[in-house]
Amino acid sequence: MSFSSLVSDIAYRNSERDDLRSQASRARSYASTTATSVSISGDISSQLHGGYSHPLARAWQAERQLTKSMLIYPLFISDQPDEEILIPSLPNQYRRGINKLVPYLTTLVAKGLKSVILFGVPLAANAKDALGSNADDPKGPVIRSIRLLRRSFPDLFIVADVCLCEYTTHGHCGILRDDGSLNNALSVDRISDVAMAYAAAGAHCVAPSDMNDGRIRAIKLKLIEAGIAHQVVLMSYSAKFSGCLYGPFRDAAGSCPSFGDRRCYQLPPGGRGLARRAIVRDINEGADIIMVKPASQYLDIISDAKELGKDLPIAAYQVSGEFAMIHAAASAGVFDLRAMAEEATQGILRAGATIVVSYFTPDFLDWLSN
């Protein structure tokens, strides 16, 4: 074969191979285009699965991820110093006397507990009266516990719930008129005095839960007058709804009303607009943190609170009934306890809360460490 014939033959074979490669490429392109047109409709941005295909990538999708610093653990403090009694309707939760607090909390603080909220439970004879006189007793369970915890755990953030229901013979959240209705003016004056006593004892935060009109302004003014407004956080239960989810708490705190109910001062479950007005009012009166209670049934209100108080931290109280329901369903095999606790809490965070008051706190201290 001549040299020119050889060159011509090689060129032909290369051209043939190029044609085959081109045909294969066109076939692949056609297959890809066909598959795409079949598997997705619309823009390529509809392909989402890759963005959460890895556990860490899934975690990154959350706007807020639960941390230990977001949790506040409720504690029921008895005036019986050595008491440690399981609360039957509140799984794994106890009412404790002051002598039992430090041994119990030492382990939790070591695991990363950052904050507690204190509820006093007076059990002694004649501990209750119509005015809730023992709410700010220096020898009462809350003030003694504040001082003890400040000494024992200097880095623990102490919130003191402020209300009269545990300390009144009638079980309502303020002082009553002769006809049994709430006397708002007297109640606000009394509630603000109790808040001041807790702040003076060393509480980092006072949290009025009574729902009397104007109590945030009254407390803020007294904190300013006392010269301690710069060092005390004022957390308002701004949107606290009436309902049936508080039963286990009332068992623990002994705070059931002796007559009637609290619908005249706690918000009606359907009152979204009323809740928004209460939130705006408390922001304007000087609240540092806005709380919504209960949590899971009121995610829209948590979202509203974040919208209205966009520059404030938003707290949500996952109340005793919510906690008990999750435990009951898990015990019945409906779902895994941890999975549901985490899912419910993630919903609360997604709605806008950055603080969660939760009875699951001891569990989360372990779960978040694993």
The pair of structure tokens assigned to 315 is: 């707290």
Q: Is 220 a catalytic residue?
A: no
Q: Is residue 192 marked as binding? A: no
Distance between CA 197 and CA 52 in Å, rounded? 50
**N-terminal to C-terminal alpha carbon distance within the chain:** 77
Residue type, 10: I
Residues in the chain: 370
Q: Which residues pair with 121 in a beta bridge?
A: 78
User: Residue 138 in contact with residue 162, Cβ under 8 Å?
Assistant: no
Q: Is residue 173 marked as binding? A: yes
Q: Of 114, 128, 220, 293, which one is the catalytic site residue?
A: 293
Q: Of 114, 128, 220, 240, which one is the catalytic site residue?
A: 240
Q: Is 111 a catalytic residue?
A: no
Q: Is residue 32 marked as binding? A: no
**Residue 269: count of CB within 10 angstroms of its CB:** 15
Q: Is residue 163 marked as binding? A: yes
The pair of structure tokens assigned to 49 is: 């699965």
Q: Is residue 21 marked as binding? A: no
Residue ranges at the known binding site for 5-aminolevulinate: 250, 262, 320, 359
Residue ranges at the known binding site: 163, 165, 173, 250, 262, 320, 359
Residue ranges at the known binding site for Zn(2+): 163, 165, 173
Please give the positions annotated as active site.
240, 293
